[in-house]
């Protein structure tokens, strides 16, 4: 299962781990399919750590799951923040997942057990390089807005199960 995030800087293709964090992948894919992420800016960018997006308000304080409420973490011991390009749901503490997600710039073991990992970047790591180079201001917000323009879903096993 994969999706492509079409951003202002180019495309990021993600492989999703739909077999394990099923609820998180269902939420992420449904948000992708609905166009929810279109126009979302990368509102938090910490070089050597993560880049974050998925808040429709573009403030870093919003976001909504497909259930219109927060939902529980799906943590698996064998899935780790072990390399550059890991994609995880962002949260404000345990069991507060909604729509925001982040992509790691490097191995980040301090995040293991705290955030639901839903996949990893499989193509266009150069785009991740360009995101990491963006100059930032207060609260690690890029000085220039860079957004997700659209998302292409290449295969959706969640929808296949519903049909």
Give residue 162's pLDDT: 44
Percentage of the chain beyond pLDDT 90 is: 90
What is the mean predicted confidence (pLDDT) over 86-102? 98
| Global pTM value | 0.94
According to the model, what pLDDT value does residue 58 have? 95
Percent of the chain with pLDDT over 70: 95
**Contact (CB, 8 A) for 36 and 99:** yes
For the stretch 6-26, pLDDT in tens is: 999 999 999 999 999 999 999
Comparing 113 with 160, which gets the higher pLDDT?
113
User: Rounded to an integer, what is the distance from CA 68 to the centroid of its chain?
Assistant: 18
- Would you say residue 155 has pLDDT above 80? no
pLDDT tens for residues 37-54?
999 999 999 999 999 999
**pLDDT of the residue at 125:** 85
- pLDDT of 156 > 80? The answer is no
User: What's residue 163's pLDDT?
Assistant: 39
Closest residue by Cα to residue 16 from 5, 6, 29:
29
Check whether 126 has a pLDDT greater than 90: yes
Report whether pLDDT(80) > 50.
Answer: yes
Judge whether residue 159 has pLDDT over 80. Answer: no
What average pLDDT does the segment 108-135 reach?
Answer: 95
3-state secondary structure 91-136: CCCCCCECCCEEEECCCCHHHCCCCCEEEEEEECHHHHHHHHHCCE
């Amino acid at each position: 299962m994969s999706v492509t995030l079409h951003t202002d800087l180019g495309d990021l293709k993600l492989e999703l781990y739909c077999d394990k964090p099923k609820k998180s992948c269902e939420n992420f894919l449904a948000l992708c399919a609905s166009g929810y992420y279109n126009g979302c800016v990368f509102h938090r960018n910490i070089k050597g750590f993560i880049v974050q997006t998925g808040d429709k308000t573009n403030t870093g304080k919003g976001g909504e799951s497909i259930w219109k409420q927060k939902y529980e973490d799906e943590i698996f011991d064998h899935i780790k923040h072990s390399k550059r390009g890991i994609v995880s749901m962002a949260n404000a503490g345990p069991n507060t997942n909604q729509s925001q997600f982040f992509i790691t710039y490097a191995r980040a073991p301090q995040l293991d057990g705290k955030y639901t990992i839903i996949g990893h970047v499989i193509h266009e790591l150069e785009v991740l390089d360009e995101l990491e180079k963006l100059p930032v201001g207060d609260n690690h917000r890029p000085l220039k807005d860079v957004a997700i323009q659209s998302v292409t879903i290449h295969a959706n096993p969640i929808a296949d199960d519903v049909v």
